[in-house]
Structure 1
Amino acid sequence: MYFELALLAYLIDLTIGELPGKHPVMWMGDFISAFERRFYQGRILTGALLVTGLLALTLSIAAALVYLAGLLPAWLSLPVLAMAASTGLAMHMLHASVAGLLTAENPRQALSYLVSRDTGAMTETEVYKGALETWAENLSDGVIAPLFYLVLFGLPGIAVYKAVNTMDSMIGYKTGRYFYFGKVAARLDDIANYLPARLTALLIIALADDRRRAWQCCLRDGGKLESPNAGFPIAAMAGALGVALGGDARYHGRIKHKPVLGWSIHPINQTTLEQALNMKTGINLIVLTLLIAGALLT
Structure 2
Amino acid sequence: MFFELAALAYLIDLAFGELPCKHPVVLFGEFISGFERRFYGNRILPGALLVVSLIAVALSLSIALVYVCGLLPGWLELPVLAALASTGLAMNMLHSSVAALLTANNPKQALSYLVSRDTGDMTETEIYKAGLETWAENLSDGVIAPLFYLVLFGLPGIAVYKAINTMDSMIAYKTERYFHFGKTAAIVDDIANYIPARLTALLIAALAEDKRRAWHCLLCDGNKLESPNAGYPIAAMAGALGVALGGDASYHGQIKHKPTLGLPINPVDKSTLTQALKMKTGINLIVLTSLATGILLS
TM-score by length of 2: 0.99
* Residue in 2 that maps onto 1:185: 185
Aligned residue pairs total 298
Which whole-Å deviations, capped at 9, do the CAs of 1:183-214 have from their partners, x for residues lacking one? 11100000000000000000000000010100
Q: Is residue 27 of structure 2 the alignment partner of residue 27 of structure 1?
A: yes
Which residue matches 1:17?
17
1:260 CA drift (Å): 0.2
CA distance in 1 between counterparts of 2:32 and 2:25 reads 10
1:12-61: CA deviation from partner (whole Å, max 9, x where unpaired):
00000000121110000000000000000111111111111111111000
Percent of aligned positions that are identical:
77
- Which residue type is aligned with residue 283 of structure 1? I
Aligned match of 1:228: 228
In structure 1, the residue matched to 2:143 is 143
Gapped regions of structure 1 (runs ≥ 5) = none
Matches within 5 A, 1:29-68: 29-68=29-68
d(CA) in 2 for partners of 1:128 and 1:294? 36
Write the distance in 2 (CA, Å) between the matches of 1:88 and 1:252.
28
SS of match in other structure, 1:265: coil
Q: Give the Å deviation of 1:297.
A: 1.0
Name the amino acid aligned to 2:136. A
d(CA) in 2 for partners of 1:71 and 1:48?
35
**Residue 154 in 1 paired to residue 159 in 2?**
no
Question: Aligned partners of 1:42, 1:251: CA distance in 2, in Å?
Answer: 20
2: CA distance between counterparts of 1:216 and 1:54? 39
CA distance in 2, matches of 1:48, 1:250: 29
Given residue 247 of structure 2, which amino acid in structure 1 is its aligned partner?
Answer: G
> Root-mean-square deviation (CA), in Å?
0.5
* Equivalent residue number for residue 175 of structure 1: 175
SS at match of 1:46: helix
CA distance in structure 1 between the partners assigned to 2:206 and 2:138 by the alignment = 18
Partners of 1:100 and 1:36 lie apart in 2 by 33
In the TM superposition, what is the alpha-carbon distance from 1:141 to its structure 2 partner? 0.1
Structure 2: distance between partners of 1:174 and 1:124: 28
Query: Cα distance, 1:174 vs. partner?
Result: 1.1
Alignment match, 1:105: 105
What residue in structure 1 maps to residue 292 of structure 2? 292
Q: Which residue of 2 aligns with 1:82?
A: 82
Query: What is the CA–CA distance in structure 1 between the aligned matches of 2:46 and 2:192, rounded to whole Å?
Result: 21
SS in 1 for 2:105: coil
- Whole-Å separation in 1 of the counterparts to 2:236 and 2:21: 36
Q: What is the aligned partner in structure 2 of residue 134 from structure 1?
A: 134
Moved over 4 A (4+): none
Q: Measure the CA separation in 2 of the matches of 1:66 and 1:114.
A: 32
Please state whether the residue corresponding to 1:238 is helix, strand or coil. Answer: helix
Tell me which amino acid in the other structure corresponds to 1:237: M
Q: Look up the SS of the partner of 1:250 in the other structure.
A: strand
In structure 2, the gaps of 5 or more residues are none
Aligned counterpart, 2:116:
116
Query: Cα distance, 1:2 vs. partner?
Result: 0.1
Alpha-carbon distance in structure 1 between the residues aligned to 2:50 and 2:122: 36
